[in-house]
Structure 1
Amino acid sequence: MSEYHFSEDYYDYYRATYRITINTDAHTLTLYKNDVVFKTYTVAVGKASTPTPKGTFKIINKAVNPGGPFGARWMGLNAPNGDYGIHGTNNPGSIGKDISNGCIRMYNANVIEVFNLVPIGTVVKII
């Protein structure tokens, strides 16, 4: 009796794909699963003097408990001219405001949820 081995293509076909859109005016991060809105979260974004960069980027690194003001998780973006990312916060009162140095801040429980779903390489569109 021979064994059948599924190819990686088979698994990729059935694996969910995620993408993220961040609307800086609305202070929202929308997570899409297979191109359908999966969940929307309230976020903090950059203040006028240090705005969140606009464009289409990718998550290039991830860290658990990065320390400092970054809360429970960090997801770094390949945005130019700075070290920008989506991260938690040790200042939950800042969520929903234009207050960061350009990063996207989330409540720690929310950033953990997103972190556990999206892989490195996930597309992040900031509008």
Structure 2
Amino acid sequence: MYSILVDVSARTLTLLRDGIPVKVYPIAVGKILTQTPQGTYTIINKAINPGGPFGTRWLGLSRPHYGIHGTNDPSSIGKAVSHGCIRMFNKDVEEVARLVSIGTVVRIVE
């Protein structure tokens, strides 16, 4: 079973399978005024090509209005620039979206 660990300070998303790291991806996180919320959430919905600034995939979290998504601005990856969501390169979020399902646990830590 897959789970996700987001390390806000390292700006990484780690995909785990049965608790063992499978792959680490670079991400962008929330800026100071709109920080990425720490805690444990689950993926509650998934969308392909959600439109707007969300790149090619959306993985909605159980915290309303927050998710893991792609970006139309790849230069933002590695920075604290979002409104609190976790941004990934489109190719990376597509890979993660193929592997995880609704109900996947997402733990966000500092």
TM-score of the pair, normalised by structure 2: 0.98
**Which structure has the greater CA radius of gyration?**
1
Residue 55 of structure 2 is aligned to residue 71 of structure 1: yes
Task: Give the paired residue count.
Answer: 109
Unaligned runs of 5+ in 2: none
Could you say what the CA RMSD is over the residues aligned between the two structures, in angstroms?
0.5
- Identity %, equivalent residues: 59
Unaligned runs of 5+ in 1: 1-16
List, as ranges, runs of 4+ consecutive aligned residues in structure 1 with deviation greater than 3 Å. Answer: none
Residue 59 of structure 2 is aligned to residue 83 of structure 1: no
Higher percent of residues as strand: 2
Tell me by how many angstroms 1:43 deviates: 0.1
- Rounded Cα–Cα distance in structure 1 between residues aligned with 2:19 and 2:28: 24
By relative contact order (CA 8 Å, sep 6+), the higher-ranking structure is 2
Q: What SS does structure 2 have at the residue aligned with 1:69? A: coil
Residue 82 of structure 2 is aligned to residue 92 of structure 1: no
Q: Partner of 2:12 in structure 1?
A: 28
Q: Deviations over 1:3-44 (max 9, x none)?
A: xxxxxxxxxxxxxx0000000000000000121110000000
